[in-house]
Amino acid sequence: MGVEIIKSKIRDVVDFPQKGIVFRDLTTVFKDADCLRELSDMLTAIYAEKGITKVVGIESRGFIMGPILATRIGAGFVPMRKPGKLPAETWQESYTKEYGVDVIEIHKDALCENDVVLLHDDLLATGGTMLAAYNLVKRFNPKKVYVNFLVELEFLKGRDLFPNDVEIESLIKY
């Protein structure tokens, strides 16, 4: 199975969550056992040999493949969450979404300088969410930070927000 078959199983939902947006719905991929396995295999092929110690998944859709990948590459999993959800002390970063400001948080003891981090989310749109996540992870001064998405909306040019030396990979592009 290749990327094109997985792409063909993504459900396009027109005008969700608001008019003019085509929502790329991955639930139709995740529910297919062969597709789920293939996604997991493709991510593992990219990241297994990079010495990654922690996969950081972004709430909520980064919580689906993030832990699956972590187990495949022998890394731990760290959740980055929406505000007020993590119980212990956190670092926070705010970012601008279309309507107003959003915040994400990570536990202060989630990462350390010895970590090699893979930041994972399902989709790159404007890049605001991942840039905030990236800045949050960089506060821990880890050895290296990789960035991964299942889907990239290339026409929104979200990857242009990141420094040139950041290795950003996406499997499926629009």
> Is 172 a binder of ligand PRP (CB under 6 A)?
no
Residue 1 or 77 with smaller CB distance to ligand PRP: 77
28-63 exposure pattern, b = at least 16 Cβ within 10 A, e = fewer: ebbebeebbebbeebbeebbeeeebbbbbbbbebbb
Q: Calculate Rg over the CA atoms of the chain.
A: 16
125 binds ligand PRP (CB under 6 A): yes
163 and 137 Cβ atoms separated by less than 8 Å? no
Task: Pick what 32 binds: Mg ion, ligand PRP, none; C-beta below 5 to 8 Å, kind-dependent.
Answer: none
Taking the complex as a whole, the smallest distance from the CB of residue 91 to ligand PRP amounts, in Å, to 18
Compute CA distances 3 → 36, 40, 41, 71, whole Å. Answer: 12, 12, 11, 22
Contact 107, 89 (CB under 8 A): yes
Given the residues 24, 38, 59, 98, the one annotated as active site: 98
Distance CA 119, CA 146 (A): 6
Site for ligand PRP in 52-71 (CB under 6 A): 58-61
Instruction: Pick between residue 58 and residue 78 the one whose CB is nearest to ligand PRP.
Output: 58
DSSP letter (8 states) at residue 141 = -
| Minimum CB distance to Mg ion smaller for 26 or for 35 | 26
Q: Rule CB under 5 A: is residue 61 a binding residue for Mg ion?
A: yes
Q: Smallest gap, in angstroms, from Cβ of residue 124 to Mg ion?
A: 10
Q: Among residues 4, 24, 38, 61, which one is catalytic?
A: 61
Residue numbers at the binding site for Mg ion (CB under 5 A): 61
Residue numbers at the binding site for ligand PRP (CB under 6 A): 58-61, 121-129, 158
Catalytic residue IDs: 61, 98
